[in-house]
Amino acid sequence: QVQLVESGGGLVQPGGSLGLSCAASGSGFRIFHMNWYYQAPGKERELIARITNDGSTNYADSVNGRFTISRDNAKNTVYLQMNSLKPEDTAVYYCNMFIQTMHNPPRNYWGQGTQVTVSS
C-alpha cells in the first residue's frame, strides 16, 4: 500500500517564503509525474505545479515565477518552494503522484493536505 505524507505549511506573512514536502512510502512502486494542487475556501482544487519523471516542470500562471517544484527520486519525495507569498495563496495544499504498483495499472495518489495561511 502506497501512502503520501505531506509536511510543512503553516502561517507566513505576505512576501514570505515557505516550503512543503511530500514523501511516498511503501514498496514495489514506480512514480511517474508528481503534482501540487491547492484548494482555497469555497473554490475547486486547482493544479499549480507539475514535475514529470524526466524533470520537466509546468506551473499555473498564478504561481509561475514564485513557486518551484522539485523532486528527489531516491527519496520518493516532491517539494514545493513558495516565495513572495500573497494572501491569495492561502489554501490547503495537496500533493499528488501518479504511481504504478506491482500488478496494477498506474493511478493517482493524494497526500492528506496541509494548510498554508498568508496573513499579517
Q: Cell for 107?
A: 493511478
Q: Is the pLDDT of residue 49 over 90?
A: yes
Q: What is the dihedral of CA 115, 118, 119, 120, to 10 degrees?
A: 130
Q: Is the pLDDT of residue 25 over 90?
A: yes
Q: Could you tell me which residues come within 8 angstroms of residue 32 by beta carbon, excluding any fewer than 6 positions away?
A: 52, 53, 97, 98, 99, 100, 106
**67-94, pLDDT tens digit by residue?**
999 999 999 999 999 999 999 999 999 9
Query: How, if at all, do strands 57-59 and 91-101 pair?
Result: unpaired
Which phi and psi angles does 41 have, rounded to 5°?
Answer: -55, 130
Q: Could you tell me which residues come within 8 angstroms of residue 3 by beta carbon, excluding any fewer than 6 positions away?
A: 24, 25, 26, 109
